[in-house]
């Protein structure tokens, strides 16, 4: 019986001592400290619009259609703080980020992730602040300066499979691996 109580105590202690995103004096937006290092936090949502996107990743002229690799590779429309202020070929196009769920989410807007495994994503679209002020402005309605709108094919694709429902993440810009660089070379806005 003592072992059960000890395990329960340790579990509760770990859950409640997990780092959380919060305001840090002198910094804009929400931040988290993990192993002594500060990371910016972001909100996430998921979308599927079936169009090429603002980084020109897709087939056809005009709106076109996304490339098939975007259906099973983690890609996102980024808020203007990450994408840049342009409507097409923003400076953030093709950037890669390591994103890690904190275990949190915005109350009433999502749910806890099934796991907190870090993932790599590439920016292939813009999350327009003028059309989505709740999430895509900087700061957004919830106080975060960054937002990733994650591509989820027909709203039942890779994000659904990962068990992410509008989770809170912390992120870090990272070099894109060769496979992503090669995918990015197919896009019109390739740098």
The residues that are catalytic are: 49, 149
Helix (H, G, I), strand (E, B) or coil at 176: coil
Enter the tokens of residue 32: 């988290």
Degrees (nearest 5) of the Cα angle 190, 59, 84?
40
Q: Name every residue whose Cβ is closer than 8 Å to that of residue 41 and which is 6 or more positions away in sequence.
A: 21, 29, 30, 31, 32, 102, 144, 146, 168, 169, 170, 171
Give start and end residues of each alpha helix (H) in 32-173: 80-83, 133-136, 158-162
Nearest to 183 by CA among 97, 81, 96, 118: 96
């Amino acid at each position: 019986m003592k072992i059960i109580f000890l395990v329960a105590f340790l579990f509760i202690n770990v859950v409640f001592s997990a780092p959380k995103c919060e305001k840090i004096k002198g910094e804009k937006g929400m931040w988290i400290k993990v192993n002594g290092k500060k990371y910016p936090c972001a909100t996430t949502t998921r979308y599927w619009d079936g169009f090429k996107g603002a980084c020109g990743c897709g087939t056809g002229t005009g709106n076109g259609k996304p490339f098939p690799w975007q259906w099973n590779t983690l890609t996102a429309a980024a808020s203007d703080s990450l994408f840049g202020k342009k409507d097409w070929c923003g400076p953030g196009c093709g950037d890669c980020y390591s994103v890690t769920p904190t275990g949190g989410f915005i109350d009433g807007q999502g749910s806890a992730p099934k796991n907190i495994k870090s993932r790599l994503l590439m920016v292939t679209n813009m999350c327009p602040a003028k059309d989505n002020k709740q999430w895509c402005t900087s700061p957004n309605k919830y106080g975060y300066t960054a937002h990733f709108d994650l591509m989820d094919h027909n709203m039942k694709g890779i994000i659904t499979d990962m068990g992410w429902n509008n989770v809170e993440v912390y992120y870090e810009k990272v070099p894109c691996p060769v496979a992503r660089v090669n995918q990015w070379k197919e896009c019109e806005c390739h740098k």
